[in-house]
Structure 1
């Protein structure tokens, strides 16, 4: 499983790189703040919404601490998607939130 730190993700955003970020937290958690531009697909819905993802694109998965996004990363990787888990999740995120 590929992983990236929150600092690495923030650095790419600050350099103007367009990232495809999927937040797998529940809707009420996301309402408290998410990485700008992140798409919310709660972990329990990933299997049912993975058809919305383009296998030619790279996605960074985020949750609160890195556990749920790690499970989602492994699942999507097994389905042929190019995915990266953000280590430490939103607890380690120091960048902007919306």
Structure 2
């Protein structure tokens, strides 16, 4: 297993699968980053706020594709979500994810 696989998992090939399951796109970047551009349908919860706002995600009752700028924060977000029983994958960086959305 390479270092990137260890950090990000093999979620790249799962994005389409999660989109088919009506997954929520979760933007975990800062408020400023979000304001400068985001994926239109994304829910925005900055990573530092995620633990305190986990109930909001639970209420959606959908799987989650987390993303940020590079994939590092979304990896942390995915771990937080999974530890709270939420089906989630790391979608990686926003630009890369947008390419997978078509």
Q: Do both proteins adopt the same fold according to a TM-score greater than 0.5, normalized to the shorter chain?
A: yes
- Aligned residue-pair number: 91
- The structure carrying a bigger strand percent of its residues is 1
Runs of 4+ with >2 A deviation: 1-5, 7-10, 91-95
- The structure carrying a bigger helix percent of its residues is 2
Greater RCO between the two (CA within 8 Å, min separation 6)? Answer: 1
Which runs of structure 2 are paired with 1:1-98 in the superposition (5 Å)?
A: 3-5=10-12, 9=15, 18-54=22-58, 56-87=61-92, 89-95=93-99
Q: TM-score w.r.t. structure 2 length?
A: 0.72
Q: TM-score w.r.t. structure 1 length?
A: 0.75
Structure 1: gaps of 5 or more residues:
none
Structure 2: gaps of 5 or more residues:
1-7
The CA distance in 1 between the partners of 2:32 and 2:52, in whole Å, is 20
What's the C-alpha RMSD, in Å, of the aligned pairs? 2.8
